[in-house]
Amino acid sequence: MPLLLVFLVDGWRGVRQTWPVALVVGIAFAIAQWFAATYMTVELTDIVASLVGLAAAVILLRFWSPEGKDAAHESLAAEREKELATVGPDGSPVGGSAGTDADDAQAGDPAHTSRAELEERARSLTPGRIGMALLPYLLVIAVFAAAKLVTPITDWLAGTDRKIPWPGLDGEVLNHAGKPNSSTVYNFQWLSSPGTLLILCSLVVAMIYKVSLGAWAKEFAGSAVKLRFAFLTVASVLALAYVMNLSGQTITIGTWIAGTGAAFAFLSPILGWLGTAVTGSDTSANALFATLQQTAGQQAGIDPTLLVAGNTSGGVVGKMISPQNLTIAATAVGLLGRESDIFRRVVLWSIGLVAVMCLLVGLQSTVLSWMLP
């Protein structure tokens, strides 16, 4: 993935100049992700892997430096100029005054910051400042590791969960064996939930950063308002998933799809890709299709774990074309209203990546089955 990102930013020239660090970061990330998922806890996989990848890059750059830094600065500045010619600093389209808006935006735009200023800023990054920047991530790792790996803490947190038999459903919904379905009992994880742990971490970070409780609450509320439609989408999809699972629709569809036999392994990631592209959430795609993938795998004689993993991996490359994620990305980089332009640039990459995932999952179900745990 680092090699692909470098190619997207600067083409083959960038790949030739930076492939050692891109390769080292990619390998370090993959190994750390595998280790965290296998021996730690799944909630920490990407956080641990990202920090290890960052550390690997820092260590390598102590001994090796890529060439072409000046050319890269000029290329990025030129690309930014083109963007500012059609988009104002606030992200809105500009007309004949594009040049003026572009000039006004240069003052606060990192792309127009001189190399001397960038180097001065780099020198001001003391170990203390770097430590404070990494603090939130290290705190999350420490809290989640303790909550998931330290047995007394894990047991205590699990003991705070509250089982709520859902009125009208508990004991009334039967599975295919004619026994009451256990998923009608809601497990309210008010303290052990990863979301609660993250909120607690944010409060600790706010105190260390000397952010007032009022400012923290305002930021928290503002984020909730921005994500309100995402909340609604995920909740609706999860509700649909429960209806499909409890009614037997998912198992029925999975059994029908299993009729494709071994060929389904090649198509498995497409379900996750479509689900995430529509809902904007890999979690939602997994809720919708994980049971389906599992049933299809069992019926077709394919490892169900592989198909569920394929569903998740396909969902990851579907996020880049999801309308919700396009809006978030456009807002973050000041291109609000340009979602369609971003979509046109990334859709072919998304299709290409899901095709690679289909090929990989298909091969892992046959000749590369030795790769599976």
pLDDT tens column, 70-125? 777 777 777 767 766 665 545 555 544 444 444 444 444 444 555 667 677 777 88
- Which DSSP string do the residues of 315-359 spell out, in sequence order? HHHHGGG-HHHHHHHHHHTT-TT-HHHHHHHHHHHHHHHHHHHHH
Q: How far apart are CA 36 and CA 10, in angstroms?
A: 32
pLDDT at 101: 45
pTM over 0.75: no
Both tokens of 216, joined, read 């923290």
Query: 258 vs 296, which has greater pLDDT?
Result: 296
- Residue 62 in this model has a pLDDT that exceeds 50: yes
Give domain limits for the chain: 2-92+112-130, 227-373
Q: Smallest Cα–Cα separation from 327: which of 251, 256, 230, 260?
A: 230
At 353 the pLDDT is: 94
pLDDT for 118 equals 67
Highest mean pLDDT pick, 1-15, 45-59, 166-180, 318-332: 45-59
